[in-house]
Amino acid sequence: AQKVTQAQTEISVVEKEDVTLDCVYETRDTTYYLFWYKQPPSGELVFLIRRNSFDEQNEISGRYSWNFQKSTSSFNFTITASQVVDSAVYFCALSEHAGKSTFGDGTTLTVKP
């Protein structure tokens, strides 16, 4: 069965600090996709990134970067120079070949000014 673990329930940082959100997954499929979503206080989850299981290249988008390592089954998310607007709940998700998505419990990030 597929499983996503976000061990950090809550993280609090001060603005401009770097922060890494951890995501560890379990799957028996060789083909799968990993996602990160952001849920601001307004409620709707916002898609941030998708990674397929055959592409281990790290990705950078502005202040956001993602580190995908199949050897440790991890897909970690780093925010550089955090800002107050980054405060949200962040979800890691896994989709297997059958198409069902499993979300982690989420990490609540609070960035203080």
**What residues line the site for another protein (CB under 8 A)?**
31-33, 35, 37, 42-47, 50, 52, 91, 95-101, 103-106
Task: Supply 70's token pair.
Answer: 């199949």
What DSSP letter does each residue of 67-102 carry, written as one string?
EEEGGGTEEEEEESS--GGG-EEEEEEEEETT--EE
Q: At its nearest, how many Å lie between another protein and the CB of residue 42?
A: 6
- Of residues 12 and 31, the one with the C-beta less far from another protein: 31
- Of residues 13 and 103, the one with the C-beta less far from another protein: 103
For residue 50, give the 3-state DSSP assignment. strand
Q: At its nearest, how many Å lie between another protein and the CB of residue 6?
A: 9
Q: At its nearest, how many Å lie between another protein and the CB of residue 77?
A: 15
Q: What are phi and psi of 53, to 5 degrees?
A: -65, -15
